[in-house]
Structure formats: C-alpha cells, structure tokens
Amino acid sequence: MAYWPPFTSSTATATCWLAVTDSTVENGCMRFVRGSHREPTIRQHFPVAGSRDESHALCTHVDEDKENVVHVPVKRGSITVHDERVVHGSGANKSNVWRNAYVLAFRKAECIKEEREHGFTHSHNDTHSWDAFNKWTKQ
C-alpha cells in the first residue's frame, strides 16, 4: 500500500514475485514481516535515496531483533505471492551473482480505472510528481 495512494476502498492486491534467477539469503531474497498484514495502519515509508522523484524504491523501519522476519529463498522459476498490506522487501545482495525477478501485481479493474483517472500509472516515468503522494506514506 505504500506505493499506491488510497484513491479507492477497493485496494485488494495480489503481488507475484517470480524468481528469474535463484534467490538466496546471500543475494538478498525476499523477506516478509510475519503478521504485518494485520497492523491497523500502513507503516511510514520513505524513499531509499532522495525523494520519490529520484528513487521509486521505498523502505520502512523493521527491527529484525524484535519482529518476526522470515527470509524466503526461492529457486529460479518459483514464485511468492503476498497481499498489499504485508511488509516485505529484499535484502542487500552480498554475493557476486545477480538476483533477478519479475513482479506482477493484480488489482481490481475499478481500482485501476480510478487510479488512471488521477494520472497514476505505477510507472516511475509518470509526468506527475511522485512526492505529491507523500501524504499517504506519512501515517
């Protein structure tokens, strides 16, 4: 949800993360915070570098010593699926091999229609300012 402004109440999303190469703990496999989908509000997120116009990637604070973080290594051709409220991300690649994945998000047609009406296409190449959406990422 941190990537999408809440234009609609129909925000249900299934995000599929397909491993194009083996994804290991060493090369930064996906990590999920168990139970985060039940948190009452979306955690505050911020750009990895600079502003949203400079960095499409977002991050949030996770205390791996106190929270139940699950590393999910997957073999090439395997897939993870998560909903829009799960705190997730990949770790740093500490190996000498690439970690490649293909990500596809499935949303309801009425949600996509509403977002398109507001000029929101989920592309970092959109002509509007990404920072205009900061009010939804600072909860």
Question: Domain segments of the chain: what residues?
Answer: 13-132
Is residue 135 scored above 50 in pLDDT?
A: no
Say how far apart CA 125 and CA 86 lie, in whole Å.
Answer: 25
Strand 46-47 and strand 88-90: the pairing is unpaired
Q: Which of 27-41, 79-93, 105-119 has the lowest mean pLDDT?
A: 105-119
**Best mean pLDDT range from 6-15, 48-57, 61-70:** 61-70
Is residue 132 scored above 60 in pLDDT?
A: no
Q: What is the topology classification, in CATH, of domain 13-132?
A: Jelly Rolls (2.60.120)
Q: Which amino acid is at 107?
A: R
